[in-house]
Chain A
């Protein structure tokens, strides 16, 4: 590849890099096994990680504001169980769909207050929430799965124009959050708070209010992710996947959100979540021995990050 082309590519965002990697992966695996590109498989790649992509949008906001949240996996588990318990106890389905958003926003608003007003560093506040939520979930449910969900509850199995609803949620929420971050005062204040809290304060932006809002929004988005998580199958598991928070954080940072705050967009994280789903699927199609799956994932993450770093150094 010529130096000029490298430079051109380099000056574009992490999003372009991700699109290129995703397309290259699709092309390569597609040649190896055309079934990879079948409509069915593409759909499952998009659907499979949609709830992770949605949760990563909120995580991106949190990271851009200069914070981190390691409790999101446990929160999704708690909200999914709340949704399931509401609907199996006779509440209307729409209540079960909306309650996780409200509860998620409320819980995370409290976390946001701890961070903003009580000055507890976000990693500590959310580490503590991780313990409280995951321990509390087991105490509360005793490990019983929730089954006997009524018909019409499975939101994630609906289709619109023959496209499954999780894909619509993923796209819709990405665009919505992208708009919010780019064109509103709130969005600009999130970037300002993340890149330089002192300067933000000096220019009249309330650090505290912004952080609390960011966490509340993140909680509500987590609620959407939880509903997608809960309604994909006929039962709701009362534990969350081990390490879900790391997957979500990884999607955000591989998507180009700088862990130092102030930089990044929500589009990148959605692309990264799609990339992870595509990698998971392609390893099965390529017959990569499943024993090596995680190693290949690690190499890919590392390569994406290193490429991004090299690019920034050339352009920066």
Chain B
């Protein structure tokens, strides 16, 4: 097989073609779809899911999963409000503490997974309940509102004509691409996913790598919380519930193998964009939300089926 065909049958490439097809199909349906304003706005709406999807790609590449991201988001949003309003801290300090709390929550996930060797699905299922519970308990179900105007710049403002949070997202994505692709850390991540025992045996820092990845997942979830609060200018303890499924859908749609060892940040980005333009495009063409949900489910299966079929065809 030539290098060219190998690239052609990559899941990411197929997904890219699918993405372009959907883009043109949607654009032909509605002339309001393919406009800079709409696309930038869609990018703004997908930033929180997108941010979390970057570390989630790492988590899934190691063969793990993190279901607690939505709860960490909720907890950090609540803490931001509590630090700022109830404890009277300046908002930048509250932001810093909230990010620290998210990092700690992710670190705790990492500890449970590495030190106690609890399978990630169970560990984060438990912390999903725990962190959400803490958010509800700490907030006593009260929402915090009335954030200063400068804070809204992050979630609702623009910088050089592009939504502010998109710059942040681009930065995180770039770091993600670089680290996974070009560093020893990235290679260790793949090695863990391919065969954890072998990775450990060959002296790779498995525990440290996994710990770092889960911690990063917590940190980025907290970052997403800050962006979210800034965008909607209120905090509620139910924020981010169910976001984990959206994130995981984007990552697996992007070609990351749920069994670990395979996947790229670029794929996740394409998967994410595909989901978002499907939702937006179908909505603009008059398909109701529940219909869109059905289509996204079907696309997920079809994408994986095509990818499987082609890889089988090429290996024959």
Q: How far is the CB of A281 from chain B (nearest CB, A)?
A: 17
CB neighbors of A among B105-136 (8 A): 112, 116-119, 121-123, 125-134, 136
Q: How far is the CB of A184 from chain B (nearest CB, A)?
A: 27
User: Assuming the A-B contacts A119-B308, A128-B297, are A294 and B136 also in contact, with contact meaning beta carbons closer than 8 angstroms in the complex?
Assistant: yes
1/0 per residue, CB under 8 A from A, across B294-316: the answer is: 10111011001100100000000
Number of interface residues of B (CB under 8 A): 48
Let me know if A171 is at the binding interface, CB within 8 A.
no
User: Assuming the A-B contacts A124-B252, A259-B119, are A132 and B136 also in contact, with contact meaning beta carbons closer than 8 angstroms in the complex?
Assistant: no
Q: How far is the CB of A107 from chain B (nearest CB, A)?
A: 13
Let me know if B248 is at the binding interface, CB within 8 A.
yes
* Chain B positions within 8 Å of A137 at CB level: 290
* Chain A positions within 8 Å of B112 at CB level: 302, 306
Is chain B's interface secondary structure helix, strand, loop, or mixed overall?
helix
Who on chain B is nearest to A294 by CB? B133
* Chain B positions within 8 Å of A131 at CB level: 249, 293-294, 296-298, 300
Which listed residue (B126, B134, B140) contacts A302, Cβ 8 A?
B126
* Chain B positions within 8 Å of A310 at CB level: 116
Let me know if B145 is at the binding interface, CB within 8 A.
no
Let me know if A139 is at the binding interface, CB within 8 A.
yes
Which listed residue (B119, B248, B289, B301) contacts A125, Cβ 8 A?
B301
How many residues of A sit at the interface, in one of the four size bands? 35 or more
Q: How far is the CB of A69 from chain B (nearest CB, A)?
A: 13
- Bound: A254/B117 CA distance, A: 15
Which of B130, B241, B245, B297 is the most central at the interface, judged by chain A CB atoms within 10 Å of its CB?
B297
- Bound: A92/B237 CA distance, A: 46
Q: How far is the CB of B266 from chain A (nearest CB, A)?
A: 19
* Chain A positions within 8 Å of B289 at CB level: 135
Which listed residue (B67, B132, B242, B291) contacts A139, Cβ 8 A?
B291
Let me know if A258 is at the binding interface, CB within 8 A.
yes
CB neighbors of A among B197-242 (8 A): 241-242
* Chain B positions within 8 Å of A297 at CB level: 129, 133
* Chain B positions within 8 Å of A254 at CB level: 122
Cβ–Cβ contact A135 & B130, under 8 A: no
User: Assuming the A-B contacts A120-B305, A127-B249, A128-B300, are A139 and B126 also in contact, with contact meaning beta carbons closer than 8 angstroms in the complex?
Assistant: no
Who on chain A is nearest to B297 by CB? A131
Q: How far is the CB of B69 from chain A (nearest CB, A)?
A: 14
Let me know if A236 is at the binding interface, CB within 8 A.
no
* Chain A positions within 8 Å of B80 at CB level: none
Let me know if B164 is at the binding interface, CB within 8 A.
no
CB neighbors of A among B259-316 (8 A): 259, 288-294, 296-298, 300-301, 304-305, 308
Cβ–Cβ contact B136 & A259, under 8 A: no
* Chain A positions within 8 Å of B123 at CB level: 302, 305
Let me know if B141 is at the binding interface, CB within 8 A.
yes
Let me know if A129 is at the binding interface, CB within 8 A.
yes
Cβ–Cβ contact B121 & A253, under 8 A: yes
Cβ–Cβ contact B134 & A295, under 8 A: yes
Let me know if B42 is at the binding interface, CB within 8 A.
no
* Other A-B pairs, 16, CB within 8 Å; known A70-B245, A253-B121, A295-B134: A68-B121, A123-B258, A124-B252, A127-B245, A128-B298, A128-B300, A131-B297, A135-B291, A135-B293, A138-B290, A289-B137, A291-B137, A291-B139, A292-B137, A298-B128, A299-B130
Interface positions of B (Cβ within 8 A of A): 67, 112, 116-119, 121-123, 125-134, 136-137, 139-141, 241-242, 245, 248-249, 252, 257-259, 288-294, 296-298, 300-301, 304-305, 308
Some 28 contacts from A to B, beta carbons below 8 A apart, are A118-B308, A120-B304, A121-B257, A123-B252, A123-B258, A124-B252, A127-B245, A127-B249, A127-B300, A128-B298, A135-B291, A135-B293, A135-B294, A137-B290, A138-B290, A139-B291, A242-B241, A246-B128, A250-B129, A291-B137, A291-B139, A294-B132, A296-B133, A298-B131, A301-B125, A302-B126, A309-B118, A310-B116
